[in-house]
């Protein structure tokens, strides 16, 4: 089968300094996309961009807190100025607080919602300003199994991921007449720092890898324009389901 290519496409991946976001950014760049990597950690971003460019890809790093309206405006202003368009937005930035609800502070709860939900909202809103005039584009929001399930000690995180899925569902209908597809990927156990914090009891050898989610992104981007997928729940193929 011929390898899927994304030559000429401009892509923004948030939370791209490590884990799923970094894998997705590298995979898309390797297949020809011009990728903008966004995260709060400038060091991690620069390291990721160096790896991508050494491999022949085109990538730029922009350190931004996606929960900041001014930061997101600056981020998209740079993309507009340099590339003039945006074909794909991957909302992957996310944080978690994993403790009983009774001991979760208001500040902790608000921080999770601000990054995971407000950040995605701000990026979707800014992306639409570029995509609507183009009459095409793809937005993929990286949710979680806790977008539709509940687990102990994950109330703040689950609330944010449920909200992200709701945002995705509504925007998918709103954006469809403009030729813009909006989907959610809902992974189960992926071997990242976040799951180590959330589920230290899990055997990491049985977890999915970030590149498994990257291939799921490839699938969504490879669909013909006449087809759209609202959400994909991808879970471990062996061991205990998560």
Beta-strand relationship, 10-14 and 180-187? unpaired
Is 151 considered catalytic here?
no
Contact between 122 and 71 under an 8 Å Cβ cutoff? The reply is no
- 211 burial class (0-12, 13-18, 19+ CB within 10 angstroms)? middle
Q: Which of the 8 DSSP states describes residue 4?
A: P
- Of 21, 9, 10, 161, the C-alpha closest to 76 is 10
Which helix H or strand E contains 181, and what residues bound it? strand 180-187
Contact between 181 and 203 under an 8 Å Cβ cutoff? The reply is no
Q: Which of 36, 151, 157, 215 is an active site residue?
A: 157
Of the chain, the end-to-end C-alpha distance in Å amounts to: 32
Q: Catalytic site residues?
A: 157
């Amino acid at each position: 089968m011929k390898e899927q290519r994304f030559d000429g496409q401009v892509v923004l991946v948030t939370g791209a300094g490590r884990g799923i976001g970094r894998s997705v950014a590298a995979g898309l760049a390797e297949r020809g996309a011009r990728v903008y990597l966004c995260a709060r950690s400038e060091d991690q971003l620069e390291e990721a961009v160096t790896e991508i460019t050494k491999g022949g890809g085109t990538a730029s790093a922009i350190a931004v807190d996606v929960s900041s309206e001014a930061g997101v405006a600056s981020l998209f202003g740079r993309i507009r100025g340099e590339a003039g368009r945006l074909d794909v937005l991957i909302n992957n930035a996310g944080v978690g607080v994993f403790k009983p609800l009774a001991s979760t502070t208001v500040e902790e709860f608000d921080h999770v919602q601000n990054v995971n939900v407000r950040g995605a909202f701000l990026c979707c809103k800014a992306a639409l300003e570029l995509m609507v005039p183009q009459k095409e584009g793809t937005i993929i929001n990286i949710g979680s199994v806790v977008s539709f399930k509940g687990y102990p000690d994950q109330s703040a995180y689950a609330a944010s991921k449920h909200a992200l899925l709701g945002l995705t569902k509504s925007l998918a209908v709103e954006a469809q007449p403009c030729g813009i597809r909006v989907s959610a990927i809902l992974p189960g156990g992926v071997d990242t720092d976040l799951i180590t914090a959330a589920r230290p009891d899990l055997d990491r050898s049985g977890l999915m890898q970030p590149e498994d989610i990257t291939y799921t992104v490839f699938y969504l981007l490879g669909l013909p324009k006449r087809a759209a997928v609202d959400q994909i729940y991808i879970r471990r193929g062996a061991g205990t389901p998560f």
